[in-house]
Amino acid sequence: MKKAIIAMSIPMAIFFFYACKKDNGTTTPTPTVSNTTQLVAALTSTTGTSGGTGAFSGSVDKTTGALSYTVTFSGVNAAAITLDPVSTSATSSTVGSVLLAGSLPTVSTPVTGTATSGTVTSGTATSGTVTSGTATSGTATSGTATSGTVTSGTATSGTATTGTTLTSPQTGNTTLSTTVAAAVASGQYRVNIRTAALPNGAIGGTITAK
């Protein structure tokens, strides 16, 4: 008899245990998925002529596009810090670039001199007029041809100018588009430090996930 009672009580205990658990509203927590990627980059000479170095660290949220960053550098007079697509490295293109700090150095466009030919004006002979009263013989004045002067244009080479010099470190926050944020997190962007002497980039490095 005791065995029968014990055998019946075990399933009932299990039933009440799960019933109480259900009543308490206990649920299994869902793991939180982070959309934030930690980023790093080592900055070295872009052209081989700059002795500067630097480093980039930060994070980007691929859902909101929020980017936080710190850029340190030495050996360069930084005018601007940009994020550039890897495909446009060390070129004058700023398509797809994101300006993080400073202002882009401006380069004047070389102007090629154009020779302007002078216009030659032919003189017109004017005949003298005889006025009645006192006979005055008219004097014929022959026109004088004036040759035009050819002025050669002067070619002026472009000169890089900038009104900003950045100091290290540069720290900040900005919001990227979700497309750019995803590209940054997947190694498709690089940090580029531009100077007046090297407006396309003095030092830089590709961003990688940490």
Give the confidence band of 181 by pLDDT, cuts at 50, 70, 90: very high
Residues in contact with 139: Cβ distance below 8 Å, sequence separation at least 6, in sequence order: 128
Give the confidence band of 49 by pLDDT, cuts at 50, 70, 90: confident
Give the confidence band of 206 by pLDDT, cuts at 50, 70, 90: very high
Residue type, 48: G
The reported pLDDT for the residue numbered 125 is 46
Of 80 and 141, which is predicted with more confidence? 80
Residues linked to residue 121 through DSSP beta bridges, in sequence order: 146
Pairing mode, if any, of strands 170-175 and 160-161? unpaired
Of 121 and 55, which is predicted with more confidence? 55
The SS3 assignment for 73 reads strand
Per-residue pLDDT, averaged over 136-152, amounts to 51
**Over 80: is that where the pLDDT of 6 sits?**
no
Phi, psi of 6, rounded to the nearest 5 degrees: -65, -40
Give the confidence band of 195 by pLDDT, cuts at 50, 70, 90: very high
Residues linked to residue 73 through DSSP beta bridges, in sequence order: 54
Compute CA distances 130 → 47, 72, 136, 137, 138, whole Å: 83, 92, 6, 6, 5
* pTM assigned to the model: 0.62
Class of domain 36-104+160-209: mainly beta
- DSSP letter for each residue of 99-136: EEEE-PPEEPPPB----BPPPPBPP--B---PPTTTT-
Compute CA distances 181 → 42, 68, 83, 104, 186, whole Å: 19, 11, 11, 22, 9
**Over 70: is that where the pLDDT of 2 sits?**
no
Sequence ranges of the domains in the chain: 36-104+160-209
The residue written with tokens 């009104």 in the block is 163
* Closest alpha carbon to 180 in 80, 39, 57: 39
> Percentages helix, strand, coil for the chain, rounded to the nearest 5?
15, 35, 50
Of 202 and 14, which is predicted with more confidence? 202
